[in-house]
Every structure is written in C-alpha cells, then in structure tokens.
C-alpha cells in the first residue's frame, strides 16, 4: 500500500503534499479539519481521485487519522477527547430557548389583558384627579356615599388591584410556557440519548450514543440506519443509500469502496451493510453545515418578520411563525448543488406553505369550540357595557335632568371607566383561557407518565389521538411475539426432525455445508454471546432470525466463529443482502480451486422454487422437481407453519473456475440451487399479549396483524394471540390475493373494493410495505360505517416508513426498530411490546376525558359568572362580582383547576367503553346536563342572595352603592358563596359520564386534593384580609358556615342531576363537534394549495380581534398553538438531518 501511495506522488508531483507528509498536523494527526471538510464535498470519481492523490487509498486515510480499519480506535478517553477538541463533537447546538422575560413579554401581548391594563391605568389616573367641583351638588349624588376622606382617596386601589392580578396572570402564563419549553427540551434530550450507533473500538463491536462518535471511529453501517456522521466507506456489501434528504434525488445511490465511497450524515441506508471511517461530525458534517446556514438564515428571517409584523398586525403572526418553521424543514430538503436551482427553489417555496399534517382530532374540536365561546363572550360584554352606559346616561341626564358640566367630566368618566372594566371582565370570564393550559398540562403530564409505561412520545398530539383509535395494524415479530427466535424443527437429509437432531445422526458433509452456509451467509454483526447472568439465556445480538440459525449450529455442537475467522467479512466476494422484495440473502465466496460457491437462505416457498437439487441422507445430490416441491410443501412446510413456525430454506450452488458468471444478473446467479435444509423457527407469543388484545377488543379497537410471514404461520400466531377466534367471520389474506381483490382491471386501487375487504380482514400475510401502506390509507379514507376510523400502526423496518407516516399514530420499535422507522413514527415503544400500546390507548382516553372534565367545570363557572355580571350590571348598575374578584375566580382558579383536573391518573375502566372517534362532540349531552343543572343551582342561590340576602343575614344592602364606597358584607357573602360552590363543583366535575360516586379515586390524585384545599385557604385569606383591593369585608363564623353549607349543597344537587336520565332531555344539544367530513377530506388538497380551516376563516373577521391576541387566548383560538409549536418546533428540530447527529430527534 505504501509503495502505491509513493508512486502516486511520483506521478503527480505536488510539493505541498510532500510537506504535508513531513510535518504532522495539529495533535499529531495527518489531516486538518478543513482538508476533511473539503474532501466530504466531493462525490464519486472526483472523491476517489482526491483520496488517491492525498492519501493513497482509504487505508492511508485511516493511518493519517491514527485508526485501524479492522480494530477501530483504542477506547482511550484522552485520545477521544483530543479528537473532539480538534475535529469537533457530534452534536449540533440547539437554538437558544426563550428567556423567562421574553415569555413574560409574550404573555403581555394578550389583547384582553392589554384592555384590562389600559382600563386599570385610566381608573388609577382618574382616582388621583380631584377637580375643585367634585363635592358640588351639580354633579348629582354620583360622588357621594364615601364615609370619610380616607375612603374617597382609596379609589386607586381597584385599578392597582386589577394591575396586580394581571401581573399574576402574566407570571403564571409565562411560567407555564417556560415549563412547557423545558419539557419539550427534556423530551428532545431523552430522544437524543435513545439513539445509538455501532462502532468498532479495540476490535470489539460497541453501541455508543451518536453524540459520542468521533472522527476516526470505524462505524458499522447496516440496513435501516440513519447515518449520524460523514464518512468514507472501507468495505461494503450491496450498499444502497437514500440521499434525498440532502440532494432531493429520490433514486437510491449505490455505494462501493472502488466507485463512490462517500457516505453523508442524514442519509438513510436502504439496503446492504458495510464499514466506514468517520471523517466529519457535528457542525462540520454535510448536514451540520446546512444547519449552520439555516441558523443564520433564521435570524435574518426574524428581523424581516419583525418589520412585516407591524404591517400585518397581530392576526397573522402565528401563521408567519408556523410558515417560518415549515420553511426551515423545506430548506433542509433543498439540494446542495442543483443545476436547475431557481426552479427547485420555487418548488421548495411552494412546499413550505403546505401544512404538515391535518389538525389532530382534539385540536379541530377545541378550535371550533373556542371560536363559538369567544363570540358569545364578545357579544355579552358589548351588551353589558352598552346597557350600563345607557342606564347611567338616561338616569343622570334624562330622569334627573342634569346638565353635563365641565368640572363633572372626570367624575362621569370614572363611571364610564368602571362600566368598561365590568364589560372587559365579562369578556375575560367568558373566554376559557384555562383551556389551552389544561390541554398543555394534561398532555405534558401524560407524556411524562407514558415514559414510565415504555411509550416515548415524539409528537404530543399523538398521545390524545391514540385515545380515539379504532384500529391497530400490528407487526407480528417482536411486537406480538418475544423476538427471541429458536430453531425447533428441521428437515435435513430426507428426514423431518421434530426436535434438534444429534450431530451423529447427520452426514459430516451435510453438517459441514450447513455450518458454512449459516456462518458465512449471515451478517457478521449477528452473534450469540454468553449470558450476562448465570442461568440466563445466551444473548442474541443482531438479526433475530440469523441468531436462531447460529443458535442451531451451537445446538449441533459446532461453532460459527472459527468459520468466520477463516473467511473474514472483507474476503466475501459478493453479497446480496436481504430486502423485502428478495425475501432472501445470498453470499458468494471464492473457493481454493478458483471456483465460486454461493450460499443462500430465505423464505422457504420462495427459495425452494429456485432449487433443482436437494441433498439426500448420504449428502449426495438428488433431483428436486416441482412435484417433489409440492410434496415437501404439503408434508413438511405446511405442518411447520400450522404450528406457528417460520420456515427458512438454506441452499447453495457451486460455479466452476472456467467462466465467472455476471454477478449483476441476480436472477441467473441465485437459481439452480441445491437445498441443504429447511428449518422451522419458533418465535413464541409474548405471554401478556392475548390479554392485551382482549382489552383492545373490549375497548372497541380492532387489531389486525400485518406480517411478511407465511399465511399458515400468521394464522396460527393470530389464533394464539386472540386476534382471530374459531367460528368468527374473518378474512386471512396473502398480499397477492389482497391486491387482486382491491384492484380493478387496470390495476388501480378502488376504495369501494377496499371497503368490502378491510372490515373483515384480520391477518395480511406475505405483505409488502406497499400493501401495508395501502391498507392503512384505505381504512383511514373509508367513509363506510357509523364513524370514520382512527388507525394506529406499528412498524420496525425501513420499509414501514410510509405506513407509519400515513397512520394517525405510528408506533416504532425502540429496540428492533431502524432509525428510519423511528423517524417516521409518533411514539416509540421502548420495550417493543404490544401491551405498551394498550397503555397508550388508556393515556390517550384519559387526556380526552381530562379536557372534558375541565370543560365541564370551566363552562359552569363561565356561564354563571357571565350571567351574574350581566344581569347584576343591568339591574343594579354594578356587577355583584367585582373585576378583581372575577379575575381571581377566572384566571387563578382556571389555572389551578386545569392543573387539578388534568392530572387525574387513568384507570382500567377507560378501556370498558368504545372509542369516541373523530366525530364525537367534546361536550356530550350528559356534560351539557351537568353544566346547565349546576348553573341553575348556582344562579338561583346568587340571585336570592343578591336581592334578599341582606334581609336573611340582617346586614346592609350592597346594591346601588356609590363610587368608592367601602366593600359591603352583602357582596362579600355573594362572592364567597360563589367561590365555595365552584370548589365543591370541582369535585363534581371529576366525573363526566354520569357516575354517582364523585369521590371515587380522589386520594390517588394528591395534586387535586392539594389544589382544592389550597384554593380554600387562599379564599379565607382574601375574604378576611383582602379588604378594599378585593372589595371584601371580613365575615363572621356564622356567615362562613352558611357559605360552606350552600357550597356542600352542590354535591347533593349533583346527585339530583345524576338521577335525571339524559335520554329524556332531547332538547339538550351537544357542543364542540369535530370539523365536518367535507373539511376532513381536504387533506388531499392539491400540492401547492394551502389548507384553510373553516374555523380559522371565521377568526379572521375583525370583530374577534379582541380575544384573538398574541399569546394566551389566541393560543386556544388558533387550535392550541402549543400543539403546533410541538409539531413545528420539536418535529423539525427532531427532524431528518438533525437527527443525524444532534441525534436530535
């Protein structure tokens, strides 16, 4: 090798290179960072030429990087650290999170809060202004009633108190946003730690976190990997890479050490395997460079956006932000060097505007509901203000016949400001700001808890969608089964062995061929290692089917390692790796006589068709005709499959040295084989799966098995799992038959045909990835049946990507899953176990119920508070609940209640009902009955107290009190009673399906108990010591007991409501329906078109600008922005190229 390198220098004399040889670079390595960066920008022949000129060959490059192509780096901490300092870490620094002050500023942008602030400041200003004519009779009795000077001067307190409560609200909002951001980042780092890559260090194969890769590492590349760094291929077998994420080219690129050895981070291995030396990591790799450019581009965008924002107004800011995030994704996809650059850019720009995914079920329903509530609140608040102003004007200037005097203006303006504050308060109470908060808390809490249940949630809304799932299309291997495979039956030398044969029973020739065929024709990364603990089973590393075959060799008292040492991986002449089309794997080796031998293994019915000979009991060749094959299928393969075994055929073929075949003609090469053996591999059903599937079926979820296995094996496993039951009307189809049934004469898929197949289909065997995608898409698009289907899919292979992406919720396997599958999924099952999916369903339903519970509570508070404020204002010219009290009830209790009701833990009873589906409204009839029923009770109590309360308690009336009068006991009792009723109604709100026992499981939620008691404690402080700011007067023990008594009455009244059968109340309407069918099918809009949600369109009308603000209330109006934030912030960050090394997905 050295001579070659020298000779190349003689042929191309380059004085700098002579110098480079002599002078070692930084840290003693023979390559600089810049050299390696420029090397990785080259492709194909150009790259090969550069490697030959500069390093001689790849081994020369390895020597310069002080690494061994076979042994890898020494696992030396100092050396690894030095490499990180010189060549960088395999990590892309994430964007800086928003500071707490930035979040406070964002929360302050809320339009409703701004209006309140303005009203409070005006109120404050006017309270300090004392005109000379204030006490004059001319202004009427409007300013009278103050008991002394001190009280009159306390007018500033209300304004200050409103400002104080606004500050409270802003801080609470900012804190929630901050903790939300923190949770997202925690999730991101958890995902980063999950991703590992195989490297060789000290000659040992190690799984290291992607962030720990360094330049000079020798990495094992295999089918399904997402490359985490740039590298140069040392040795490859049939390697094909999907480089579309970097170049935009969808065709797979064939890589080989002698034609195109450059491997780039962020690209996917679609076929084959190999070894590469890592040459660039982190920000220096190709994807890292793009990300660095993206970061710089993003800052410029932001500056432009700020300018644009002033013109566009508040309305479009969230859309701009979303588009910017989408744009980032689009930029990632742009080709590095594209000839038709301009055209591509145009197309990319259009792509950037396409919404990523249609809204989740819950998002759609919440958007609609929020718009409806917002409109109602706006109308109510406007009417309240108009009535108050008219009443005042008519009474003062018409009835009393007064004239508007200049010196009285501030006094009148103070009244108008007071009316305005009451109006805004009605609006604040009407709009449920707690809703986005409840959704956030509920989802974040669930996601955190789901981690413990082995569900790593990558997209928050997937958690809630899972609760509505009506169908699960599951893989078989590893999900329903243990994925610990063992050979239990075999057919060798004309004999069917029902258990492992004794080595002495087999002819040495057969045994020797079998050992070589299995040892050589499997990935060398697949091994059987000794058990970690004494008495445990040996550890299976790598492909589990191959592990079963290697285990078979060990059971035959032979070893595969010496064979592999004799013929190392780089001596293999040609490898046809396994893929879903071939369903087989073949390896060619050169024999000592100059000839070649091909070993092949694969699905028995496919490989046996290629066999023309079989070895008999003496190890001699015997003809194998189609008739023999049919016999073998009937007598050997079918009985094995009916026992639930996967059958694998092992075969070989010899080629003479005279003429070397054309290895690219695979069909010709892998044919005319000689069958050595057929083995039956058992993959036992996980013991907990049948029970989990029974739970799913009881919960109204149909489980379907989609597998690449033989139909008899699949049917046997499905029966063991409980997916199919004898005597039921179900279909088990093979991929070919499935396609025949759903396609028309032209070979096109017809939805009508598919609708006849999928409802009864339970097992789809020998299916291709396309079949899986077709089935999932067909079920989702189907409109037959009472409700539209919500489909979950599990997958582990690279080829499962399209189906995982298409599904409403995609589950990838954390252990067996390839990076590509994880990339396409919404949830990663960290234990690859089907029972974890059932837990995800439970959590999903719990999220949905938590939000319904909160809505039930929130809307009762809102209905009552709005009606009380409105009616009180119209009749007594003042709201019985003051602005500050309203803010406490609404904003503070909202926050607490959302925390209390959103953290209810799930229980098994959630699985006893059918899924809600896409079309079920958020507020059911039962909930509507509860909301209105409790509202009637509360309104009756409050109006009774308002109009005759002073007689009952024998106190002064608080009605018609003049401006700045001290707080009355009368109105304090009304406020206190109102809060007590809300507190006890919060306990009622824990049940939404009409259950009687509202205390059931209350102690399993300590957060709920703490919040209820805490709120009660704060209420005591407010009433007894709140004084003027809270418009409260201290109450006696007797008055407190009455307030409590009325509050407890809520629980009794709840039982009365539960007694009324909902079915009798036909007049009650449901609310919060999902978008209609016509809207839902808009997902298939033409590529360039932008999807406009109907609710969004309504929102754009000017009148709703009030609550459409920039952060909080707008949050829920724009379909909880935080969910979009997740999909736009985490998804792209955790997106394709980034995953690469920041591992960042």
Integer Cα distance of 1059 and 1053 in angstroms: 10
Strand intervals (E) in 687-845: 702-706, 731-734, 761-765, 791-795, 809-813, 827-829
DSSP letters of 461-509?
HHHHHHHT--EEEE-STTTTB----EEEEEEETTEEESSPPPGGGS-HH
Integer Cα distance of 362 and 360 in angstroms: 6
Burial pattern 28-55, b for ≥16 Cβ within 10 A else e, equals ebbbebebbbebbbebeeebbeebbebb
Cβ pair 5, 55 in contact under 8 A:
yes
Residue in 242, 475, 683, 832 annotated catalytic: 475
Instruction: Output the six-digit token pair for 1123.
Output: 């969910």
- Cβ neighbours for 440, distance < 8 A, ≥ 6 positions apart: 176, 180, 1120, 1122
Cβ pair 858, 435 in contact under 8 A:
yes
Residue 283: CB atoms within 10 A of its CB come to 19
Residue 174: CB atoms within 10 A of its CB come to 22
Integer Cα distance of 1029 and 154 in angstroms: 9
Q: Which residues are paired to 205 by β-bridges?
A: 200
Cβ pair 1050, 864 in contact under 8 A:
no
- Tell me, rounded to whole angstroms, the distance of Cα 237 from its chain centroid: 35
Residue 619: CB atoms within 10 A of its CB come to 17
Integer Cα distance of 203 and 210 in angstroms: 19
Q: In what order do the strands lie in the sheet with 702-706?
A: 455-457, 827-829, 809-813, 791-795, 471-474, 702-706, 761-765, 731-734
Integer Cα distance of 908 and 407 in angstroms: 70
Q: Biggest alpha carbon distance in the chain? A: 126
- Tell me, rounded to whole angstroms, the distance of Cα 364 from its chain centroid: 17
Put residue 1074 in one of left, alpha, beta given phi > 0 → left and psi -120 to 50 → alpha.
Answer: beta
Integer Cα distance of 668 and 1063 in angstroms: 71
Instruction: Output the six-digit token pair for 758.
Output: 């999928």
Cβ pair 888, 1019 in contact under 8 A:
no
Is residue 475 annotated as a catalytic residue, yes or no?
yes
**Measured CA distances, 627 to 304, 412, 494, 610, 640 (Å):** 75, 105, 15, 14, 19
Integer Cα distance of 718 and 479 in angstroms: 12
Cβ pair 518, 554 in contact under 8 A:
no
- In eight-state DSSP terms, residue 560 is S
Cβ pair 124, 156 in contact under 8 A:
yes
Task: State whether residue 1060 is helix, strand or coil.
Answer: coil
Cβ pair 348, 334 in contact under 8 A:
yes
Integer Cα distance of 639 and 644 in angstroms: 9
Cβ pair 927, 856 in contact under 8 A:
yes
Helices (H), 954-1105: 969-988, 1006-1025, 1037-1059, 1077-1080, 1094-1099
Residues marked as catalytic: 475
């Amino acid at each position: 090798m050295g001579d070659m390198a020298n000779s190349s220098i003689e042929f191309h004399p380059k004085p700098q290179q002579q110098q480079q040889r002599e002078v070692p670079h930084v840290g003693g390595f023979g390559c600089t960072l810049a050299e390696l960066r420029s090397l990785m920008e080259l492709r194909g022949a150009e790259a090969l030429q550069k490697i030959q000129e500069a390093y001689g060959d790849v081994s020369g490059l390895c020597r310069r990087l002080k690494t061994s192509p076979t042994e890898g780096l020494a696992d030396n901490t100092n050396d690894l650290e030095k490499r990180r300092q010189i060549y960088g870490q395999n990590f892309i620094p994430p964007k800086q999170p928003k500071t707490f002050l930035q979040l406070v500023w964002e929360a302050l942008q809320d339009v409703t809060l701004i209006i309140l602030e303005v009203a409070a400041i005006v109120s404050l200003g006017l309270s300090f202004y004392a005109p000379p004519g204030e006490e004059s009779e001319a202004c009427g009795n409007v300013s009278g009633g103050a008991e002394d000077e001190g009280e009159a001067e306390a007018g500033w307190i209300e304004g200050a108190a409103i400002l104080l409560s606004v500050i409270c609200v802003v801080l609470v909002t900012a804190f929630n946003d901050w903790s939300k951001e923190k949770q997202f980042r925690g999730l991101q780092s958890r995902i980063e730690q999950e991703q590992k890559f195989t490297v060789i260090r000290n000659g040992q194969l190690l799984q290291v976190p992607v962030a720990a890769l360094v330049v000079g590492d020798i990495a094992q590349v295999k089918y399904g990997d997402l490359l985490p760094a740039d590298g140069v291929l040392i040795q490859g077998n049939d390697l094909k890479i999907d480089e579309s994420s970097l170049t935009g080219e969808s065709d797979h690129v064939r890589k080989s050490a002698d034609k195109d050895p450059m491997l780039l981070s962020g690209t996917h291995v679609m076929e084959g395997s190999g070894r590469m030396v890592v040459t660039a990591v982190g920000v220096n790799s190709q994807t890292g460079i793009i990300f660095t450019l993206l970061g710089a581009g993003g800052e410029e965008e932001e500056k432009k956006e700020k300018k644009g924002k002033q013109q566009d107004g508040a309305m479009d800011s969230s859309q701009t932000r979303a588009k910017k995030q989408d744009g980032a994704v689009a930029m990632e996809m742009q080709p590095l060097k594209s000839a038709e650059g301009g055209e591509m850019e145009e197309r990319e720009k259009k792509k950037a505007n396409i919404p990523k995914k249609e809204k989740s079920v819950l998002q759609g329903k919440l958007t609609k509901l929020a718009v409806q509530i917002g409109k109602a609140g706006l109308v109510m608040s406007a009417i309240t203000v108009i009535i108050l102003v008219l009443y005042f004007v008519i009474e003062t200037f018409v009835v009393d016949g007064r004239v508007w005097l200049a010196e009285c203006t501030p006094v009148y303006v103070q009244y108008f400001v007071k009316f305005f504050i009451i109006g805004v308060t009605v609006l604040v109470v009407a709009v449920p700001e707690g809703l986005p908060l409840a959704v956030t808390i509920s989802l974040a809490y669930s996601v955190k808890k789901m981690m413990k249940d082995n569900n790593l949630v990558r997209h928050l809304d997937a958690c809630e969608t899972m609760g509505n799932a009506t169908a699960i299309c599951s893989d078989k291997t590893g999900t329903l089964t243990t994925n610990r495979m063992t050979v239990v039956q075999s057919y060798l030398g004309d004999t069917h062995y029902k258990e492992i044969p004794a080595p002495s029973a087999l002819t040495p020739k057969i045994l020797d061929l079998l050992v070589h065929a299995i040892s050589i024709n499997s990935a060398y990364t697949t091994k059987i290692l000794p058990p970690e603990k004494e008495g445990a089973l040996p550890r299976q590393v790598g492909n589990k089917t191959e592990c079963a075959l290697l285990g078979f060799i060990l059971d035959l008292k032979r070893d595969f390692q010496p064979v592999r040492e004799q013929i190392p991986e780089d001596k293999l002449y040609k490898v046809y790796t396994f893929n879903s089309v071939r369903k087989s794997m073949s390896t060619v080796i050169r024999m000592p006589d100059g000839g070649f031998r091909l070993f092949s293994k694969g699905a028995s019915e496919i490989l046996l068709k290629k066999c023309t000979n079989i070895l008999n009991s003496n190890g001699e060749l015997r003809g194998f005709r189609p008739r023999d094959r049919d016999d073998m299928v009937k007598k050997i393969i079918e009985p094995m499959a009916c026992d639930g075994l996967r059958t694998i055929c092992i075969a070989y073929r010899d080629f003479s040295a005279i003429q070397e075949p054309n290895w690219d003609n695979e069909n010709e090469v892998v044919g005319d084989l000689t069958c050595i053996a057929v083995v039956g591999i058992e993959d036992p059903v996980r013991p907990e799966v049948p029970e989990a599937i029974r739970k799913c079926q009881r919960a109204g979820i149909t489980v379907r098995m989609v597998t690449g296995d033989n139909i008899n094996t699949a049917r046997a496993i499905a029966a063991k799992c409980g997916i199919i039951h004898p005597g039921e009307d179900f279909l088990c189809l093979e991929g070919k038959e499935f396609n025949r049934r759903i396609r028309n004469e032209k070979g096109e898929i017809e939805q009508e045909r598919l609708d006849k197949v999928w409802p009864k289909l339970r097992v789809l065997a020998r299916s291709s990835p396309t079949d899986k995608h077709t089935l999932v898409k067909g079920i989702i698009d189907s409109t037959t049946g009472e409700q539209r289907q919500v489909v979950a899919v599990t997958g582990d292979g690279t080829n499962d990507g399209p189906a995982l992406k298409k599904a409403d919720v995609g589950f990838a396997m954390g252990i067996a899953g390839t990076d590509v599958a994880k990339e396409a999924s919404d949830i990663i099952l960290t234990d690859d176990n089907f029972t974890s999916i059932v837990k995800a369903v439970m959590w999903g339903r719990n999220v949905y119920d938590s939000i319904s519970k909160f809505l039930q509570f929130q809307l009762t508070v809102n209905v009552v508070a709005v009606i009380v404020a409105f009616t009180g204002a119209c009749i007594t010219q003042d709201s019985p609940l003051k602005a500050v009290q309203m803010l406490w009830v609404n904003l503070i209790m909202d926050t607490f209640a959302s925390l209390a009701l959103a953290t209810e833990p799930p229980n098994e009873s959630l699985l006893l009902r059918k899924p809600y589906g896409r079309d079920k409204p958020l507020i059911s009839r039962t909930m509507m009955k509860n909301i209105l029923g409790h509202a009637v009770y509360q309104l009756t109590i409050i109006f009774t107290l308002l109009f005759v309360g002073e007689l009952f308690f024998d106190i002064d009336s608080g009605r018609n009190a003049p401006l700045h009068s001290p707080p009355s006991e009368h109105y304090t009792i009304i406020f206190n009673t109102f809060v007590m009723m809300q507190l006890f109604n919060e306990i009622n709100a824990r049940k939404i399906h009409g259950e009687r026992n509202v205390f059931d499981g209350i102690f399993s939620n300590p957060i709920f108990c703490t919040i209820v008691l805490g709120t009660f404690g704060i209420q005591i402080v407010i009433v007894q010591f709140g004084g003027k700011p809270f418009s409260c007067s201290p109450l006696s023990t007797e008055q407190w007991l009455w307030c409590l008594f009325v509050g407890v009455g809520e629980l009794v009244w709840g039982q009365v409501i539960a007694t009324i059968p909902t079915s009798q109340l036909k007049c009650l309407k449901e609310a919060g329906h999902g978008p209609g069918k016509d809207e839902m099918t808009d997902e298939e809009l033409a590529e360039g078109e932008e999807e406009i949600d109907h609710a969004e369109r309504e929102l754009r009308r000017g009148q709703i600008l009030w609550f459409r603000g920039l952060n909080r209330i707008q949050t829920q109006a724009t379909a909880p922005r935080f969910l979009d934030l997740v999909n736009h912030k985490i998804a792209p960050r955790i997106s394709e190229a980034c995953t690469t090394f920041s591992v960042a997905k």
